[in-house]
């Protein structure tokens, strides 16, 4: 995550009130913690305040448990909820994928080289095609075929893997199945999906070929948290790439794959670094 070994993260939110920044900064000063980065946002429409702070303890023997308990007392006055993330924690994740391997390959590379602070506990797929890729990385691969009739049983198998692996984040890296309402509710706020974004919008088969026929000048991708509305969950990040009349359908597909990989990786990094806050149906995102 490109952070120093001794940098902690505090991410908090509460109703908008006078003194919300002060309660965080004053406490850190009293605890001899040096603030290395801080971002905050007050949403006047929702009446919510969001703050993310990176800090470094100035004294040896930092006691995270005592710190958490003491700040919880201060935070209660503001009805503030918060998370404390230790240095270089690797978030346990499960990746779901179908046949397309570009996003999975990109995530595995960033995982292998330490660019993403994640611990991939398992890969789940409705096809067997990518089992060898998981095996090469030493990651358990679960092949759970699915049909309309077996969907409840298949999702029960998927949920069992998520629970038993201890995953705190599920990444849908081009998983080409619509999750049920029940599964979407279970994964609310902790499952990220990636899909193409084209203007005008094209649904159904071969969207890039449809885009070519319409002469689009931009291809893009959107990474978002899942909800019960297909591809309409709270957006984390988006990316675009210009195209021209000289780009053929296969060029649009290639550019689309590249931007999907980059957009998904950015979204995962932002989530892992506690830079994303859910704000009703929207998100507050503190950029890196």
User: Mind telling me the catalytic residues?
Assistant: 231
For residues 30, 34, 39 and 43, what is the CA-based torsion angle, rounded to 10 degrees? 0
286: left (phi over 0), alpha (psi -120 to 50) or beta: beta
Tokens of 121: 């506990």
257/42 Cα distance (integer angstroms): 36
CA angle centred on 192, ends 241 and 196, rounded to 5°: 30
Paired sense of beta strands 8-15 and 81-85, if any: antiparallel
Tokens of 183: 């599964």
Tokens of 267: 């979204």
Ranges of H-type helices in the chain: 20-30, 64-76, 102-112, 131-136, 151-165, 181-186, 207-214, 249-272
CA angle centred on 230, ends 148 and 185, rounded to 5°: 80
Tokens of 31: 């605890």
């Amino acid at each position: 995550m490109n952070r120093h070994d001794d940098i902690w993260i505090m991410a908090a939110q509460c109703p908008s009130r006078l003194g919300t920044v002060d309660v965080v900064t004053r406490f850190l000063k009293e605890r001899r913690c040096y603030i290395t980065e801080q971002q905050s946002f007050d949403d006047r429409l929702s009446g919510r305040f969001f703050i993310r702070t990176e800090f470094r303890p100035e004294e040896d023997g930092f006691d995270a448990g005592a710190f958490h308990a003491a700040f919880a007392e201060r935070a209660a006055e503001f009805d503030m909820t918060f998370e404390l993330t230790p240095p270089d924690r690797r978030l346990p994740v499960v990746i779901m994928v179908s046949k397309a391997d570009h996003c999975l390959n990109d995530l595995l590379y960033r995982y292998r080289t330490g660019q993403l602070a994640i611990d991939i506990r398992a890969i789940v797929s409705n096809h067997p095609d990518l089992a060898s890729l998981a095996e090469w990385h030493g990651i358990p691969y679960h092949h759970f075929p699915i049909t309309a009739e077996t969907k409840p049983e298949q999702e029960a198998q998927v949920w069992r893997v998520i629970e038993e692996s201890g995953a705190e984040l599920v990444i849908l890296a081009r998983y080409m199945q619509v999750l049920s309402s029940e599964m979407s509710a279970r994964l609310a706020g902790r499952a990220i999906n990636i899909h193409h974004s084209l203007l005008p919008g094209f649904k159904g088969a071969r969207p890039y070929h449809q885009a070519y026929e319409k002469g689009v000048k931009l291809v893009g991708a959107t990474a978002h948290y899942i909800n019960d509305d297909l591809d309409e969950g709270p957006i984390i990040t988006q990316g675009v790439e210009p195209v021209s009349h000289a780009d053929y359908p296969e060029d649009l597909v290639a550019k689309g794959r590249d931007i999907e990989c980059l957009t998904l990786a950015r979204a995962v990094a932002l989530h892992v670094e506690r830079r994303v806050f859910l704000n009703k149906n929207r998100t507050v995102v503190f950029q890196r």
